[in-house]
Amino acid sequence: MRVLVTGASGMLGRATADQLAARGDEVTVMQRRPSAGAHRQVLGDVADPAAVAQAVAGQHAVVHLAAKVDVVGPWAEYERTNVEGTGHLLRAARQAGVRRFVQVSSPSVAHAGRSLTGVGAGPADPEHARGNYARSKAAAELLALSADASGFAVTAVRPHLVWGPGDTQLVGRILQRAHEGRLPLLGRGTPLVDTTYISNAADALVAALDRIGDAHGQAFVVTNGEPRPIGELIADICRAGGAPVPRLRIPPRLAWGAGALVEGAMAVCAAVPALPTITEPPLTRFLAEQLSTAHWFDQRRTREVLAWTPRVSLDEGLGRLSATG
């Protein structure tokens, strides 16, 4: 099978492309910058219809991971890449005769700030999702699933908090802030949170591609299925990565208020050219919510429909992280 993987310069996209190639698929990757990988590369932006048309030509399937994932930024940038880019890819894929399309989404598309405890994949909700990233991914997921049709099967997979060795997002940020003494725990650190080890997430995307006949038109949340108290999870990652375990605790409401102040300062800086742009805010309201609310998911339907189970446990993943640290 010939498969296009967008966003393969990221950790999950790269792992997915490698797994597809390892089992014998002919993999093309679309990304904005060249990399040292062995896969055929098409350089371009998913917001560029011409580049997208070139990338999908001759493909049987698409796994779409390319997205703007920054913590902050203007809505227009998220809309251009995450919503309009997805639209370009869907149209070009249909025109090129692609028959399978896996939209890689996020559980944040159905998170309105309240705890999510043992729930399934609720409907994507752009109106109530928190922050420009989540809102744009919610709109993109709805757009993708609405394109599901006979001869063009579309499914959405929402991996939750993907991490592993070499991760510069979740793990990298936790360890950096812990080393700098800027990683407080909110409240008692007891809300349960689930995550997904990198190879498990890649396995799930491949499984969605293979099982799309049963999965099309639907969304699935993917996790390791091992929720832990967030304070314990952060401490485990810090120990595995050789960073000090955070001791400072902040009340959640205070953190939320501080996040609001930071966002206000960011808005002022963005509006005044003479002021510096804040690209890595120490705290936002969304981050405060994520660190103080539970988010873990019922995996029974995901595992049944995708015929998938995680191969790497949370503790084994932490051991691998420690071994590479």
- Asked if 85 contacts 45 with a C-beta cutoff of 8 angstroms, the reply is yes
Catalogue all structural domains in the chain, each as residue range(s) with its CATH number. Answer: 2-162+195-226+296-318 (3.40.50.720)
pLDDT of residue 275: 58
d(CA 179, CA 177): 5
Is the pLDDT higher at 192 or at 169? 192
pLDDT of residue 271: 61
Mean of the per-residue pLDDT values of the chain:
89
CA nearest 59: which of 29, 16, 104? 29
Q: Is the pLDDT of residue 151 over 90?
A: yes
Least confident window among 97-106, 124-133, 145-154, 184-193:
184-193
The answer, yes or no, to whether residue 253 has pLDDT greater than 80, is no
The 10 Å Cβ neighbour count of residue 247 is: 9
Residue 301 pLDDT greater than 80, yes or no:
yes
Percent of the chain with pLDDT over 70: 87
Per-residue model confidence (pLDDT) at position 286:
66
How does pLDDT run across 194-209, given as a tens digit for each residue? 999 999 999 999 999 9
pLDDT of res. 204: 98
> What residues are labeled active site?
133
Q: Which of 308, 286, 312 is nearest to 299 (CA)?
A: 308
The pLDDT, as a whole number, for residue 68 is: 92
Cα separation values, 236 from 170, 189, 220, 287, Å: 13, 13, 27, 19
Angle between helices 230-240 and 314-324 (to 10 degrees): 30
| pLDDT reading at 266 higher than 60 | no
CB atoms within 10 A of CB 236: 18
- Please report the pLDDT score of residue 225 as a whole number: 96
* Rounded CA separation 118/190 (Å): 16
